[in-house]
Amino acid sequence: MSKATFTFRVDETLKSEFSAAAKNCDRNAAQLLRDFMRNFVRQQQEAAEHDDWFRRQVRTALDSANAGHLIPAVEVEAKFSAKRAATRRRLESSVE
């Protein structure tokens, strides 16, 4: 792996406090900044992967709906009304 230098300006107080905090963790500032950069890149990659997955899920659902694979709202409400009633009955019988 080739090495590159990353230079940026930061307030002197922040630099001193960061270096001291790093030293308290038995690390140096450069190690922590590299860790931060790796974690940030990983988080961005994971977010992009999740976004891609989510868009595929939405596209699949839209394609299915456009193809007419829908459940009428009346059927959905009836099914979940029955589930709510069953849950209420279980709760009431467990209290007794």
Tens digits of residue pLDDT in 62-77: 999 999 999 999 999 9
Q: What angle do CA 70, 84, 76 make, to 5 degrees?
A: 10
Evaluate whether residue 55 is within a structural domain: yes
Evaluate whether residue 23 is within a structural domain: yes
Tokens of 41: 């890149």
* pLDDT tens, residue by residue, 13-44: 999 999 999 999 999 999 999 999 999 999 99
pTM of the model: 0.67
Evaluate whether residue 16 is within a structural domain: yes
For tokens 């009304």, the residue is 81
Tally the domains of the chain. 1
Evaluate whether residue 18 is within a structural domain: yes
Q: By residue range, what is the domain housing residue 62?
A: 12-70
Evaluate whether residue 61 is within a structural domain: yes
Evaluate whether residue 5 is within a structural domain: no
Q: How many C-beta atoms lie closer than 10 Å to residue 57's C-beta?
A: 10
Rg (CA), the chain: 27
